[in-house]
Chains A and B, each alone.
Chain A
Amino acid sequence: MLKNYIKIAFRVMLRQKFFTAISIFGISFTIMVFSIIASITAITFGNDAPNINRERTLYYRGFTVEGDQFRFSAPEPVFYDQVEKLANVETMGRYIAGQLTSFKNGKKTSIDVVFTDEKVWKIYKHDLLEGRTFTADEARGAQSIVVITESVKKHYFGDEKAVGQFLETTPRLRVIGVIKDFLHIGGVGPEAAQAFIPLNRYHFGANKNPIYSAIIVAKQQSDLPEIKQSLSKLINERYNPKKRNVELWANDVYERNDFGDYLAIMAVFIFFTMVIPALNLVGINIGRIAERRSEIGIRKAFGASSSVLAGQFIAESIIITLIGGLLGVLLTYACSGLVITHIVASNDDVIASNSVLIHWDVIMYAVLASLFFGLLSGAVPAWRMSRLHAVKALKNGNL
């Protein structure tokens, strides 16, 4: 019976090419928009690799003491040692973000880099494709070594092995490892870097007064407010003898990205992008099924009950939405590259990542959502038309 449904669904789709095209385009476009938005949300706020600890991470950038100048972070290593020793801190990584520039074949290329310590390899989960990452000793020893992403490797070394070769930047850096490209949107420091350089190597650069930021991973998400209080306390003790007001620049990922506003806007947007094609589909389905009154009469005459007929029309709707869903996935795949090029890359000179902005869980939910809407949009007209009186259907049919 399903084969028969599929056959007739395809014939009907071909017979009503215009409506089919509108319908399928509506579904696939909706899925694409929904998938890209949801993927961006997941990449920005989720706990997927490499950001496996994101929900319990505090991003510390510094503080301002009232009446004083803005002060990025605290320059003394001892301050960070104290933070790291707080009872509810699991680990802490320090970093300084920047860009390195090089020229290849006369073309300027920029790489988003981060000077960081070895903790970064524990806080984030990267897939190592070649070589190794740097150790605590190497990070402290300020060695001129670097771990790069696969797109940077591809840009400089093509398909050759990168480990042991040098990045012709200033300073010149020896590649010790290659990690898989990863997606980042609005990420800071290690979350947006294409090359990882030992922290102390920064002291040998032009800037002799390094400004650290820190990524503090709490033991539990619920520890974050307490860690913030402890940070304030430490700052007050060390840097605020006159007891003026202190503004702490430390936020978790949700505060950092105005999560609430973002969610509300996205929810409204997704609702409209899903509801409009769904309503359109209801209309199309009513018209599509109404044109087949005679078929309803024939099938009833030969033994189809109303429920079997409703099932047939719903199955047809699902077939159409499923085709739209699969096209939507392909469209998402095709368009995600554009999104990466135009949104994710920090500027035009930066090497484009070859990652694809696809979050498979999200796509699965998007396809399920489209099936749900397909079912919903098919069910109402199917139920109405399947209850059509057989004699009336045969009389008014126009086959």
Chain B
Amino acid sequence: MIKLTDVEKVYRTSTIETMALSKVNIVINKGEFVSIMGPSGCGKSTLLNIMGLLDEPSSGKIEIDNTLISGYADKRLAHMRNQKLGFIFQSYHLINDLSVVDNVEIPLLYRKGVSGSERRKKALEALEKVGLNSRTKHYPNQLSGGQRQRVAIARAIVGNPEIILADEPTGNLDSVMGEEIMNIMLQLNKTEGTTIVMVTHDENMANKTERVIRFFDGRQVN
């Protein structure tokens, strides 16, 4: 599903060069639930951004669904993200000016041929899956952290992406809420067969996934 070959990421300024990722080779299979672990600054999020086509590697190859992503223009990358990928972020990243249901609809806005009523129907279905169908008209700042993250999951799954990339999805939540979010993701993986790559600091959460990839100082260590 996702294949990274010799991926490197170097951040350069006029005076310093920082190697964020060094010779990363990872294959994530269809339907897998994989965690990426490592200390802060080891390159986990950079890796996730590269997998999510939000950032480009300095060298190496990325393949998604057997398609080599190379030299894609902005529009094509956006289309690819819209069709194949869903994101969940640690700080939820909901748009406060939009209601819950409008937030969930966002990925479908950029999908051609989806009517307004269809968008609304799918968004409500996604919210039902995460158990938030009673809060559709609320605004993000009227919700608890756990509820916000559930909205974020609904937004990630509304377009039925094959891959979900979650960057510390339980990082801002207490253990009970964290468990809840983890269970939703496990359920998604199990029932819908969605491939999930999750960055986490939490060993307990990581142990619930099928495989753990560990990073240290920009290098894969297992």
A399 at interface by CB-CB < 8 Å: yes
- A294–B93 CB distance below 8 A: yes
B140 to A: closest C-beta gap in Å: 8
A55 to B: closest C-beta gap in Å: 52
- A15–B97 CB distance below 8 A: yes
Residues of chain B at interface, number, CB under 8 A? 30
Please report the C-alpha to C-alpha distance between residue A305 and residue B96 in the assembled complex, in whole angstroms.
Answer: 21
- Mask, A1-37, CB within 8 Å of B = 1, is 1011001100110010000000000000000000000
Chain B residues positioned under 8 Å from A308 (CB to CB): 78, 110
- A303–B111 CB distance below 8 A: yes
Chain B residues positioned under 8 Å from A306 (CB to CB): 74
- A301–B105 CB distance below 8 A: no
A304 at interface by CB-CB < 8 Å: yes
- B97–A303 CB distance below 8 A: no
Chain A residues positioned under 8 Å from B93 (CB to CB): 294, 297-298, 301, 394, 397, 399
- B110–A304 CB distance below 8 A: yes
A3-B116, A391-B54, A391-B55 in contact; A303/B95 too (CB < 8 A)?
no
- A8–B106 CB distance below 8 A: no
Interface positions, chain A 286-321, Cβ under 8 Å from B, are 294-295, 297-308
User: A305 contacts which of B49, B52, B75, B155 (Cβ < 8 Å)?
Assistant: B75
Please report the C-alpha to C-alpha distance between residue A11 and residue B97 in the assembled complex, in whole angstroms.
Answer: 6
A42 at interface by CB-CB < 8 Å: no
A390 at interface by CB-CB < 8 Å: yes
The residue in B55, B86, B93, B105 that gathers the most chain A C-beta atoms within 10 A of its C-beta is B93
Interface positions, chain B 39-75, Cβ under 8 Å from A, are 49, 52, 54-55, 74-75
B8 at interface by CB-CB < 8 Å: no
- B102–A7 CB distance below 8 A: yes
Please report the C-alpha to C-alpha distance between residue A317 and residue B75 in the assembled complex, in whole angstroms.
Answer: 23
A308-B78, A390-B54 in contact; A302/B98 too (CB < 8 A)?
no
Interface positions, chain B 77-125, Cβ under 8 Å from A, are 78-79, 81-83, 86-87, 89, 93-98, 102, 105-107, 109-111, 116
- B78–A4 CB distance below 8 A: no
A298-B93, A394-B89 in contact; A4/B107 too (CB < 8 A)?
no
Please report the C-alpha to C-alpha distance between residue A295 and residue B89 in the assembled complex, in whole angstroms.
Answer: 13
Cβ-closest chain A residue relative to B81 = A303
Chain A residues positioned under 8 Å from B159 (CB to CB): 302
Please report the C-alpha to C-alpha distance between residue A299 and residue B155 in the assembled complex, in whole angstroms.
Answer: 11
The residue in A299, A302, A304, A305 that gathers the most chain B C-beta atoms within 10 A of its C-beta is A302
Chain B residues positioned under 8 Å from A301 (CB to CB): 52, 54, 81, 87, 93
Chain B residues positioned under 8 Å from A7 (CB to CB): 97-98, 102
Chain B residues positioned under 8 Å from A1 (CB to CB): 109
The residue in A12, A294, A307 that gathers the most chain B C-beta atoms within 10 A of its C-beta is A294
B47 to A: closest C-beta gap in Å: 12
Please report the C-alpha to C-alpha distance between residue A155 and residue B52 in the assembled complex, in whole angstroms.
Answer: 77
- B102–A298 CB distance below 8 A: no
Chain B residues positioned under 8 Å from A4 (CB to CB): 98, 102, 105, 109
Please report the C-alpha to C-alpha distance between residue A394 and residue B152 in the assembled complex, in whole angstroms.
Answer: 14
Please report the C-alpha to C-alpha distance between residue A7 and residue B139 in the assembled complex, in whole angstroms.
Answer: 13
Cβ-closest chain B residue relative to A298 = B93
User: A399 contacts which of B55, B81, B96, B107 (Cβ < 8 Å)?
Assistant: B96
Given A301-B93, A304-B110, 10 new contacts (CB under 8 A) = A1-B109, A7-B102, A11-B98, A301-B87, A302-B106, A302-B159, A303-B79, A305-B110, A391-B49, A399-B94
Q: Return 17 A-B CB contacts under 8 Å, by A number.
A: A7-B98, A11-B97, A11-B98, A294-B93, A298-B94, A298-B106, A299-B106, A300-B78, A302-B86, A302-B87, A303-B79, A303-B107, A303-B110, A304-B109, A304-B110, A305-B79, A399-B93
* Ranked 10 nearest A-B pairs via Cβ: A303-B82, A11-B97, A303-B110, A305-B78, A302-B107, A305-B75, A390-B54, A301-B87, A298-B93, A391-B49
